[in-house]
Structure 1
Amino acid sequence: MAIFLAAVTDTAAADYSPEQIQAWARPETRELSTWHAAMHARNSYVAIVDGEPAGFSDVDRFGYIDMMFVDPRFLGLGVARQLLAHVEAYARAGRLTELTANVSITARPFFERYGFTVEAKQHPVMIGVQLTNYAMKKNLLSN
């Protein structure tokens, strides 16, 4: 959970207001056991750099990527690229035809660089605060 919180509160702070960051991160309401159970329910991957967890991602059996976060200390080292490669390999091995994700403003350029396209701009509300993200999709049949 520490990587998620650092990524949201540090990396995404350039694209979201402090109020939006607090609504998204909600550290005081996140239960570690619930977090771990959710991670185990999906195909989850952790990237390790120099013996430290540097990022994580997951993908469900339908090709939905729920989370992909990189510790700000490891940005620019290809961590997200490697995580996405694992996710995509899982999807292809399962003969899935696409990957989908709800992607932050911050992460949108990364996902576009690796073949995802915006399907819709969205405005989810978290604890009464509106955020912006993008429903994105990558067609695996054409790649």
Structure 2
Amino acid sequence: MPVSGDRFSVRPYGPDDAQATIDIFLSAIRKVASKDYSPAEIAAWAKVDDAEIWAQYRASRPTWLALDGSTPIGFTDLKSDGCLDMMFVSPDYQGKGVASLLLATVERAARKQGLQQIFTEASLTARPFFERKGFVVVAAQRVEKRGQTLSNFLMEKALA
């Protein structure tokens, strides 16, 4: 069931949305996260080796797509353990409330599942957003991606 913000809507991910989510993922990393990570780190992170595996992964958990009209502009997901695994917004839609709408969708779904908290592994780029939304840093982390070591933060938020 679609959820609408002032300008944008959110609907459940469908089988035909895989390429749109890949495009959003790659452009968000290359154009937005590139201010916080080196070119080598971005090259290691911004890769999708197998679109079919990506599509299976997206379909394996609740995933939502943010839309401007019919144009996909962001996506997020929620694993059964409360992990918000991915949230990416197209570069042209940064700072316009898309991530807030996606996060509100995740939080509603988590509450419906009876979860007491949600958590994520936020990039350097995403950390300020999640902090503004009530997440706290549990631990700074270093993760390996294709030979590069990237910094991120394990963050959690209690759901009231």
TM over 0.5, shorter chain:
yes
Q: In the alignment, what sits opposite 1:13? A: 34
Matching residue's letter, 2:52: S
The percentage of counterpart residues that share the same residue type is 42
Asked if 1:26 is matched to 2:54, the reply is no
Aligned pairs for 1:6-85 within 5 A:
6-27=27-48, 30-85=49-104
Q: Distance in 1 between matches of 2:155 and 2:142?
A: 14
- The C-alpha deviation readout for 1:58-80, integer Å capped at 9, x for no partner, is 00111101100000011121100
- With the length of structure 2 as denominator, give the TM-score of the two structures: 0.85
Matching residue's letter, 2:37: Y
Gaps of 5+ in 1: none
Q: Which runs of 4+ in 1 moved over 4 A?
A: none
Q: Distance in 2 between matches of 1:50 and 1:91?
A: 26
- How far off its partner does 1:50 sit? 2.7
Calculate the aligned-residue CA RMSD, in Å: 0.8
- With the length of structure 1 as denominator, give the TM-score of the two structures: 0.95
Q: In the alignment, what sits opposite 2:23? A: 2
Q: Distance in 1 between matches of 2:69 and 2:31?
A: 21
Q: In the alignment, what sits opposite 1:102? A: 121
Q: Secondary structure at the match of 1:4?
A: helix
